[in-house]
């Protein structure tokens, strides 16, 4: 670990190669990164153990599952109920991610829906959770920048001190 980073420039090279070809074998990754197969294998195992590599489900497009609509629900809650609210949100399958925020809103809830009426019902289920005080729904009309880490990995490989 470097400072508060778990990923060093060698790990970043491996992660860039995996990002380019997620199905690459250890031998192929070793060739691309110019590292030994044992080094690549050990580094990947370490990254998995540290939780650096996330689950495969982050790569699945919700629209392919019949949920083409995406929205973010800004939610104000009773603070002492946060644990119960989090548990209730886990029970709603259309909730794909929840972030706790500082500021005027307590939670940012990322949801998917089949269509507008479905989104209305999902938002209603969230508002019905005991401790949820207010919600504001923002429908995603267009995504301008997809989730990405390649620029960060590339900068770490180029300039290890800066990354």
Ranges of each domain in the chain: 9-57, 62-139
Number of neighbours of residue 11 by Cβ within 10 angstroms: 21
The per-residue pLDDT for 59 is 82
- Tokens 């960060």 correspond to 152
Confidence grade of residue 51 (pLDDT, cut at 50, 70, 90): confident
- Do the domains spanning 9-57 and 62-139 agree at the CATH topology level? no
CATH architecture of structural domain 62-139:
2-Layer Sandwich (3.30)
Structure token digits, residue 29: 């990754």
The per-residue pLDDT for 163 is 53
Structure token digits, residue 132: 């949820």
Q: 9-57, which class in CATH?
A: mainly alpha
Q: Looking at residues 12-29, what average pLDDT do you find?
A: 94
**Cα–Cα dist 67/122, whole Å:** 12
Does the pLDDT value for residue 158 go beyond 70? yes
Nearest by Cα to 140 from 108, 103, 110, 118:
110
- Tokens 């289920």 correspond to 125
Query: pTM of the full predicted structure?
Result: 0.83
């Amino acid at each position: 670990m470097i400072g508060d980073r778990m990923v060093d420039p060698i790990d970043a090279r491996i992660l860039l190669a995996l990002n380019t070809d997620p199905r690459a074998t250890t031998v192929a990754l070793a060739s691309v990164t110019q590292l030994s197969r044992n080094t690549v294998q050990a580094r990947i195992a370490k990254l998995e153990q540290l939780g650096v590599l996330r689950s495969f489900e982050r790569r699945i497009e919700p629209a392919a599952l019949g949920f083409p609509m995406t929205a973010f629900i800004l939610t104000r809650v009773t603070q002492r109920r946060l644990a119960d609210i989090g548990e209730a949100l886990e029970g709603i399958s259309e909730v794909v991610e929840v972030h706790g925020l500082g500021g005027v809103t307590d939670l940012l809830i990322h949801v998917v829906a089949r269509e507008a009426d479905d989104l209305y019902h999902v938002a209603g289920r969230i508002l019905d959770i005991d401790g949820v005080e207010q919600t504001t729904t923002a429908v995603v009309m267009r995504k301008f920048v997809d989730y990405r880490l390649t620029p960060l990995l590339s900068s770490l490989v180029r300039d290890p001190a800066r990354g």
